[in-house]
Amino acid sequence: MSTATISNRLKAELHTRHTNAARLIKPRSRRVTNRSRPRLGFLGVGWIGRNRMEAIAKADVADITLITEPNPELSAEARKVAPQAEAAPALDEMLESELDGVVIATPSALHAEQSLKCLEHGLAVFCQKPLGRDAAETNAVISAARKADLLLGVDLSYRHVTCIREVHELCRQGELGDIYAVDLFFHNAYGPDKAWFYDPKLSGGGCVIDLGIHLVDLACWNLGFPPVTKVCSRLFAQGKPLHGRTSSVEDYAIATIEVESGATIRLACSWKLSAGCDAIVSGAFYGTKAGAAFHNIDGSFYHFSAERFQGTRRESLTCAPEQWGGRAAADWARCLAAGQRFDPKIEELNTVAETLDAIYENS
């Protein structure tokens, strides 16, 4: 789907829809109530969409019923995962089918619009990040899901890496004491290969909303989502400073975030940085009793290790290659199959979206 096509579709419709949708949506009952397995539609089956489809298929808790994908080659690859699935020409046709939920993996500009449409039709949603290009879009979708009492999930996939979860447990169980310092980094030596990523009207921003969203989420998640009190940041595009959301997207960002608990979070993220490896992904949490950190191994996007620190001593935590990318999608499908409705924890994503907005506004 071209940048021009997305822009034309959204220009006349998005503002009004996002402003009013949460007020207009009324709860609808599921159209089919006697099924033991939910029926799912997949909207967009590029690499990420297909990977999430594979994870849900492997979990074997739902039926993959419909696929909407304009690229016939991508659609054919997805049918190898779910040969029983039928093709739906577009979302509107998908919404007229007997589904229970939709998995959305389309360009970011469409996430809020498509999520709202699905919720309007009484369908649960699992959406790629970001749920919205800013806090207003994000809040509109979450509010709509709450009012409709429908399960909403967002693909914050790094929460599902085993060693990152171990660091999370140390933080939340008080093993580190009072956490007062957090350092997080995500540097991608390549950057996105789709043109729409570089148009802020379509993407919402550059490396901050693409990679920084994971860093902000992990920091807030481990600290228990305390209110953010202050944000200072600097954004760059090809080495030149940017101020706010402009016609260019940032490819390097650094931010300092202060939260009500007293902790200070420092984060940096980038695209196409001369990092000396494919990627640098790491996080460290320092408290009054101990510290803990995770990092990727040998530049891998997927293989991580973690350690716990006590003074000059360190203890290795879990360190093994694993297929974690689709776990968030599979967990959402399991919850849907179990009959779960709206989960208030998704409202924590408003804090993440508001913090991302502040990073842009305070640069």
Q: If you average pLDDT over every residue of the chain, what do you get?
A: 91
Instruction: Say if residue 350 is exposed, middle or buried (CB neighbours under 10 Å; 0-12, 13-18, 19+).
Output: middle
Compute the average pLDDT of residues 312-333: 93
Asked whether residue 352 is assigned to any structural domain, the reply reads no
How many domains is the chain built from?
2
C-alpha distances (whole Å) from 198 to each of 47, 80, 111, 193, 356 are: 19, 32, 17, 9, 17
Q: What is the pLDDT of residue 103?
A: 98
- The verdict on 165 and 309 lying in the same domain is yes
Asked whether residue 119 is assigned to any structural domain, the reply reads yes
- 292 or 4: which carries more pLDDT confidence? 292
- The verdict on 163 and 151 lying in the same domain is no
- The verdict on 217 and 178 lying in the same domain is yes
Q: Residue 30: pLDDT above 50?
A: no
Asked whether residue 221 is assigned to any structural domain, the reply reads yes
- The verdict on 317 and 331 lying in the same domain is no
Do 360 and 203 form a contact (C-beta atoms < 8 A)?
no
Domain extent for 103:
3-155+327-343
Residue 357 structure tokens: 């907005």
Q: What is the pLDDT of residue 320?
A: 81
Q: Residue 318: pLDDT above 60?
A: yes
Lowest average pLDDT, out of 25-34, 115-124, 328-337, goes to 25-34
Asked whether residue 360 is assigned to any structural domain, the reply reads no
Asked whether residue 356 is assigned to any structural domain, the reply reads no
Asked whether residue 358 is assigned to any structural domain, the reply reads no
- The verdict on 129 and 206 lying in the same domain is no
Asked whether residue 362 is assigned to any structural domain, the reply reads no
Which tens digit of pLDDT belongs to each residue from 234-263?
A: 999 999 999 988 889 999 999 999 999 999
Asked whether residue 284 is assigned to any structural domain, the reply reads yes
What CATH number corresponds to the domain at position 313?
Answer: 3.30.360.10
Q: Residue 33: pLDDT above 70?
A: no
Q: What is the pLDDT of residue 35?
A: 63
- The verdict on 229 and 338 lying in the same domain is no
Q: How far apart are CA 108 and CA 113, in angstroms?
A: 10
- The verdict on 151 and 162 lying in the same domain is no
What CATH number corresponds to the domain at position 35?
Answer: 3.40.50.720
- The verdict on 281 and 228 lying in the same domain is yes
What single letter denotes the amino acid at residue 112?
Answer: A
Residue 21 structure tokens: 């949708």
- The verdict on 227 and 290 lying in the same domain is yes
Q: What is the pLDDT of residue 244?
A: 84
- The verdict on 291 and 189 lying in the same domain is yes
What single letter denotes the amino acid at residue 206?
Answer: G
- 183 or 29: which carries more pLDDT confidence? 183
Do 204 and 352 form a contact (C-beta atoms < 8 A)?
no
